[in-house]
Structure 1
Amino acid sequence: MTLPRISAGRQTATAALAATLWLAGAEPVLAQAAADTAAPAAHTFSANVALASDYRYRGLMQSNGRPALQGGFDYSHASGFYLGNWNSSISWLGDSHPDVSAPIEMDFYGGYRHAFGDSGWSTDVGVLQYYYPGSYPDGYTSPDTTELYAGIGYGPVTLKYSYAPTNLFGLADSRHSWYADLSANVSLGFWGLTLNAHLGYQKVQVADASYADWKLGLTKELGHGFALALAYIDTNAERAVYTSAKGRYLGRATVWGSLSKTF
């Protein structure tokens, strides 16, 4: 289980390069001015890879407290439409049943983002498919999940609502579950630090399975696309519901870290 990791894309320098060559004999200031006025790229592609101390999704442990390798790809169009894929190593499905072998989570998503000029307001709507390839015994409820989401943002703050018309991550009779997510990512203005705060509530249409989760952390930009993140994560998930077959409580508090690279 995971949120789409939609990373900022790179703008093409093709138009700027053409302007520079055309003005090869002009003053450098004129060439720079031509580069600065180049139109943004219509199509943007990016990729990301990360090593996390533990894969936590909506506060819950997905890799049994062990490191997880993660990464994905994103495409966005100047109109606001985007598509992406994100993947992570997991162990929670294998931990749930001895006859299950599903070590990878694959997420596919697409949607539309729009910013309202310089007002600071933005919207984001889309669909996300969680896919868990592997082998499962007869009668095992499929963990594959579809969610529809809509979000509204103002400055560094975002409020997002996700709705699952399918069963939620293998929980039988859990259709129509939803998740509300209030997040803020505030640049501190020094040392390349960003403050990350999050509060979420997962409503599950199964008795005693609903819970809240929260996070407080920092992200440090290291340059050349690298970033280091450190956070405190906790939940109030019911132990009787969210304890694995191996006896490990999936919602316990943790200090989490990751090192990521965006291309």
Structure 2
Amino acid sequence: MGEIRMKKFACKAVALGILAAGSTGAMAEDKPSIAGFSVAGNVAATTDYRFRGVTQSSNNPAIQGGFTINHESGAYLALFGSSVDFGIDGNSTETDATLGYASSFKATPNYSIGYDVGVTYYGYIGAKSNFTNPYNDKTGLNFTEFYAKLIFADSLFKGDSITTMVTYSPDYWGRTDDFWYFNLGYSAPIADTGFTGIASVGYNKLKNKDSLSIVAGGPGEDDSYIDYKFGVQYNILGVTAELAGVGTDVSTSGMTDAGKKPYDLGAVLTLSKSF
């Protein structure tokens, strides 16, 4: 079980970024529509699938993809899939489904704030019969999460964006009960170079120390942790390349270098293509 705990949770930020590209990001593009519906999709390859700072692929590469059905009203259905590796027999895939609504409201006569609310179901095929939470004897990894975001475009100067997000799950990954997540993200073009700078920080609050030891591993000294990300993006022939540093402040006291790797700061390269 210690090895499984170390490998657990890869949001996100790469995962959440990919999922957003399949949902609200895709809605910003002009797509052919029928009866107000349009479809957008994306595929990606990453050197390490991290979600909320911690690897979901055992620090190995992962293949990801998804598509979104958007309606002109702002409602959307997004599906996302990725290869994963938690060291759990029979589980090698994550499949998520999100039902949401995105729109904006006028903060002032000349400035609008975007918002996005919805619910995501995270599914892990084959995990229910091969994973049991040792603290409460519940089985499976699947969980449901509710989320709300605010997007402040052109917040400090033209082309930048501030995103705030809060999520809640009544029974988080690994059947670990209540979970709250708070995230602040920022992106901005870097002069006229074609590069975009990105950064985010998140606060993960679990029910207790036992829950954290299941979700994020470590010696189980805390019931919360911080994740962070910083990097750059560049578009090459329609492919977005992202190089980022991703890590957490999960306590790794007394662990080997290999044991620390799933949580410590690491470089992640992701190539994604939207269509």
Band of TM-score, shorter chain: 0.7 to 0.9
Report if the CA contact (8 A) 1:93-1:101 is conserved. Answer: no
Q: Which amino acid aligns with 1:5?
A: A
Partner of 2:72: 78
Tell me the SS of whatever aligns to 2:185: strand
Report if the CA contact (8 A) 1:11-1:41 is conserved. Answer: no
Q: 1:50-80 CA deviation, whole Å, 9 max, x = no partner?
A: 1101001000011111111011011111111
Residue 20 of structure 2 corresponds to residue 5 of structure 1: yes
RMSD: 2.5
Q: 1:131-186 CA deviation, whole Å, 9 max, x = no partner?
A: 000153374531101100111121100110000012x210x5x3221100101121
Partner of 2:190: 188
Report if the CA contact (8 A) 1:229-1:259 is conserved. Answer: yes
Q: Which amino acid aligns with 1:129?
A: Y
Percent identical pairs in the alignment equals: 31
Partner of 1:145: 143
TM-score by length of structure 2 reads 0.75
| 1:231 paired residue among 234, 244, 265 | 244
Report if the CA contact (8 A) 2:90-2:130 is conserved. Answer: no
Structure 1 unaligned residues grouped into runs of 5+: 15-39, 95-99
Number of aligned positions between the proteins: 227
**Aligned 1:58-137 pairs, distance under 5 A:** 58-94=52-88, 100-116=89-105, 119-135=111-127, 136-137=129-130
Tell me the SS of whatever aligns to 1:147: strand
CA distance in 1, matches of 2:130, 2:164: 38
CA distance in 1, matches of 2:38, 2:79: 14
TM-score by length of structure 1 reads 0.78
Q: Which amino acid aligns with 2:202?
A: G
Report if the CA contact (8 A) 1:209-1:238 is conserved. Answer: no
Q: 1:217-253 CA deviation, whole Å, 9 max, x = no partner?
A: 11101133x1100011121012379x89x84542111
CA distance in 1, matches of 2:65, 2:54: 19
CA separation of 1:13 and 1:132: change in aligned 2, threshold 3 A: closer
| 1:54 paired residue among 48, 51, 62 | 48
Report if the CA contact (8 A) 1:209-1:237 is conserved. Answer: no
